[in-house]
Amino acid sequence: MSDGDPALEEALILHQRGEFEAAQRVLRQHLEIDPNSADGLHLMALCEHAMNRNDTALEWLEKAIAQQPEEAVFLSNAGMIAFGCGRLERAEGFLERAVAANAQHAESFNNLALVRERQARFDEAAALLEKAIMLKPDFAMAYANHGNVLRALGLLDRAITEYQNAILISPMLAAPHNGLGNTFRQMDRRVEAIESFDRAISLDPGYADAYFNRAMTLAAQGETAKAEADLAQAYGLRPDHRFLVADAGLLPVIPASETEIIRWRERFIRKFEELSEGLVPISGDPEQVGAMNFYLAYHGENDCEHMEQLAAFYAKAFPDLLWTAPHCNSSDKQEGRPIRLGVASKNFGEHAVAWMIFGLLAQLPRDQFSVTAITPSGSNEGVSDRISDAVDDVLQIAANITSARQQIADERFDILLYADIGMEPFSYFLAFSRLAPVQCVTWGHPDTTGLRSIDYYISNDIAEPEDGQESYTESLVRLPGVQSWYPRLSRSEPLPSRQDIGLPSEGAIYLCPQNLIKIHPEMDANLADLLARDPEGHLVIFGASDPNWTRLLLARWKPVFGRNFERVLVLPRVSLQTFVDTIALSDVVLDTWPFGAGNTNYQTFAMGVPVVTLPGRWIRGRGTLAHYTHMGIDDCVAQSPAEFVEIAHRLGTDHAYRKEIAAQIEARSDAVLEDEVCADAFAKFLAEVRAKA
């Protein structure tokens, strides 16, 4: 700003007070006298921007830049106003000129980094921010922005350090607390995340993004009503369409009742229908507003309509998701070489998905297939040895969709198999693209994707009901055998005692080892009835990954179980071997309904322990039925909730009967473990669809 000009000084004071129209009256008089006053034109632009008249603000800035083309401050401000309006190319042009005009202007490097971040050019963004920090070591916002970029690169520990640096420099700055909260949220450290968002909001009560981020963390904790309130607050502060999308996608993690499930499912459909009317494309990352559709599968209903509606909505809201790799349009099949199979998942570490699929991948004949595991860099668990040993190569892709899909496209896969679409937002949104001529999904998450880009859902013949195709938008593939090639696990030798692992020494142990989100409210009264029938028995569960889920379930159970609630035991999360030993020490394992066991069944049958099951309507509740069918055992398959309780009670109290059933399971478990039939059929199917493509 020019020194000594009274009009400019007066206008600047008015601008700083927020009296923008008064400032402009002074500036107009000044510009009548000096129409080429660059500082006057610049300040007019800032007033227009403050009143959210950004098109006019850019016009004034361009006039100022015409007077002083090398003024980095003018160029940088023009770039940020264009950036805020979503005009990325114009912002890039202004900011590239700014850093070229003044290589010492830290703010320009910081601002250009924001553009590079939006373009998913994260390495370049990081380098620009490092330059900004070098030029201005006390630049708190640059540290916070560097944290954001490092988080996008999956470098979470380094991101935390940068946010903490920003807070040390400027303790009253809200942005680094918000960034720190997002990092903790990404690490599933939700209590710390909420504390960080609380701090950001206390520093800046108008911080809409902090309310939004806190809402999504609360939703993940199962606090759906609180999340709904925070999203309403965020939208009230800034009418951002993304907040409405996130609100529409809310679902309870641990539903309080069957009535609540019905209400939220109806709300889900209604909200997305309302948003679809007059929908225009939304800018930003769709992962930030991913719906909680993962939880639909646990309600026991046909989700085809919900998932198809959701996919159509996102395709319209984020049209950039609909991308096709160039080689998918080529007719060149490159015959005479192994089929290039890519297998994508974020859960290739010590996760049930990895256990369920690694055997099938390892069994694929290598004269016919070249197999690559695909996973985002920075995934918390990385890639387990069993996955690495089962494939020929591991491709670590970027943790953002734009870069990741290009990396996958560059590999020119013949078939892309998603192990678990729906488990988390990244793979779901990645799968909107056509990255291979043939794209399939399998049962890592046993529900339809609703995506037109996915050609086949690979499933199991016996586990699927006759009308199973009705629940899929993909073509249903019904493979023979069981659902996986799964190794036989062993108990510890010697087996620890009950007391050693925290179980009661007396009474029957009814173990329900499933993820707590599978325990449907319909089960509650029946589980309570089981304990009422067996006054010496204990119902045992494992605590959830989020302690709040456990709290919500126990709060739901307490009034239902009454005085028998004291015989509900919650074990801490344990190692795989201790988990298997706990199963081996239990009298009965209780399957959940309508979403039943998958991975746990293989572990339980290897221990020779009976699993009581009530088959569900769709495949996600019929895995145990399929296993028993293969073994030729039907004694533990109930036809009603009452029969479920009756079978479990008999197994828990009639020791001779339990011993008889356990002996049958031990003798016949080879039928479901290390199943070559499924592995052979899997390879045959992939070869056939490649030939047809």
Inside any domain, residue 25: yes
Cα–Cα dist 181/163, whole Å: 10
**DSSP character string of 142-204:** HHHHHHHHHHHTT-HHHHHHHHHHHHHH-TT-HHHHHHHHHHHHHTT-HHHHHHHHHHHHHH-
Percent of the chain with pLDDT over 90: 85
- Helix/strand/coil for 474: coil
Given this model, what pLDDT does residue 380 score?
46
Q: Please state the domain count of the chain.
A: 4
Q: What is the pTM of this model?
A: 0.89
Please identify, among 127, 157, 181, the residue that sits at the C-terminal boundary of a domain: 181
Phi-psi region of 276 (alpha: psi -120 to 50; beta: other; left: phi over 0): alpha
User: Could you tell me the two tokens for 74?
Assistant: 């003018």
Give 61-88 pLDDT, tens digit per residue: 999 999 999 999 999 999 999 998 888 8
Which residues lie closer than 8 Å to 236 by C-beta, 6 or more apart? none
Q: What 8-state DSSP symbol labels residue 515?
A: -
Whether 33 and 148 share a structural domain: yes
CB 255 within 8 A of CB 524: no
Q: Which residue has the tokens 């009009």?
A: 7
Whether 21 and 130 share a structural domain: yes
Whether 462 and 380 share a structural domain: yes
CB 637 within 8 A of CB 622: no
Inside any domain, residue 432: yes
Confidence of residue 290 (pLDDT cuts 50, 70, 90): confident
Q: What 8-state DSSP symbol labels residue 496?
A: P
Cis peptide before 513 (omega within 30 of 0): no
Inside any domain, residue 194: no
Give 143-168 pLDDT, tens digit per residue: 999 999 999 888 999 999 999 999 99
User: Could you tell me the two tokens for 39?
Assistant: 């500082």
Strands in 611-612's sheet, in edge-to-edge order, are 568-571, 538-542, 509-512, 588-590, 611-612
Out of 109-118, 253-262, 279-288, 553-562, least confident range: 279-288
Give the closest residue to 521 by CA, choosing from 258, 252, 223: 258
Give the closest residue to 219 by CA, choosing from 304, 293, 272: 293
Give 567-605 pLDDT, tens digit per residue: 999 999 999 999 999 999 999 999 999 999 989 999 999
Single-letter amino acid code for the residue at 574: V
Inside any domain, residue 211: no
Residue 453 has pLDDT above 60, yes or no: yes
Cα–Cα dist 405/135, whole Å: 35
**Does residue 2 or residue 416 have the better pLDDT?**
416
Whether 512 and 482 share a structural domain: no
Whether 627 and 682 share a structural domain: no
Given this model, what pLDDT does residue 333 score?
66
Inside any domain, residue 246: no
Q: Which domain holds residue 278?
A: 258-321
Given this model, what pLDDT does residue 84 score?
85
Q: For the CA atoms of the chain, what is the radius of gyration?
A: 29
Question: Taking residues 350-355, what's their average pLDDT?
Answer: 89
Inside any domain, residue 219: no
Inside any domain, residue 346: yes
Give the closest residue to 438 by CA, choosing from 420, 459, 412: 412
CB 98 within 8 A of CB 72: yes
Single-letter amino acid code for the residue at 300: G
Please provide the average confidence, as pLDDT, over all residues in the chain: 94
Whether 556 and 647 share a structural domain: yes
Phi-psi region of 127 (alpha: psi -120 to 50; beta: other; left: phi over 0): alpha
Question: What CATH number does the domain containing 437 carry?
Answer: 3.40.50.11380
Given this model, what pLDDT does residue 342 score?
98
Cα–Cα dist 84/526, whole Å: 55
Residue 381 has pLDDT above 60, yes or no: no
Taking the CA atoms of residue 47, residue 53, residue 56 and residue 57 in that order, the dihedral angle to the nearest 10 degrees is: 40
Question: Taking residues 604-627, what's their average pLDDT?
Answer: 96
User: Could you tell me the two tokens for 431?
Assistant: 């799968």
Give 101-143 pLDDT, tens digit per residue: 999 999 999 999 999 998 888 999 999 999 999 999 999 999 9
Question: What CATH number does the domain containing 512 carry?
Answer: 3.40.50.2000
**DSSP character string of 626-677:** HHHHHHT--TTB-SSHHHHHHHHHHHHH-HHHHHHHHHHHHHHGGGTSS-HH
Whether 372 and 409 share a structural domain: yes
Give the closest residue to 447 by CA, choosing from 343, 293, 280, 255: 293
Confidence of residue 25 (pLDDT cuts 50, 70, 90): very high
Which residues lie closer than 8 Å to 267 by C-beta, 6 or more apart? 250
Please identify, among 181, 206, 223, the residue that sits at the C-terminal boundary of a domain: 181
Paired strand residues for 534: none
Q: If residue 615 lies in a helix (H) or strand (E), which one and from where to where?
A: none
Whether 545 and 645 share a structural domain: yes
Give 636-677 pLDDT, tens digit per residue: 999 999 999 999 999 999 999 999 999 999 999 998 998 888
Question: Taking residues 450-459, what's their average pLDDT?
Answer: 97
- Cβ atoms within 10 A of the Cβ of 52, count? 8
Whether 358 and 477 share a structural domain: yes
- Helix/strand/coil for 451: coil
Whether 393 and 455 share a structural domain: yes
Please identify, among 147, 181, 215, the residue that sits at the C-terminal boundary of a domain: 181
Strands of 437-585 (E only): list them. Answer: 438-441, 456-460, 475-479, 509-512, 538-542, 568-571
Strands in 369-376's sheet, in edge-to-edge order, are 393-397, 369-376, 339-344, 415-418, 438-441, 456-460, 475-479
Q: If residue 252 lies in a helix (H) or strand (E), which one and from where to where?
A: none
Inside any domain, residue 209: no
Question: What CATH number does the domain containing 142 carry?
Answer: 1.25.40.10
Whether 24 and 163 share a structural domain: yes
Whether 307 and 419 share a structural domain: no
Which residues lie closer than 8 Å to 538 by C-beta, 6 or more apart? 503, 504, 507, 508, 509, 510, 531, 567, 568, 569
User: Could you tell me the two tokens for 315?
Assistant: 């395709």
Cα–Cα dist 596/514, whole Å: 8
Single-letter amino acid code for the residue at 174: A
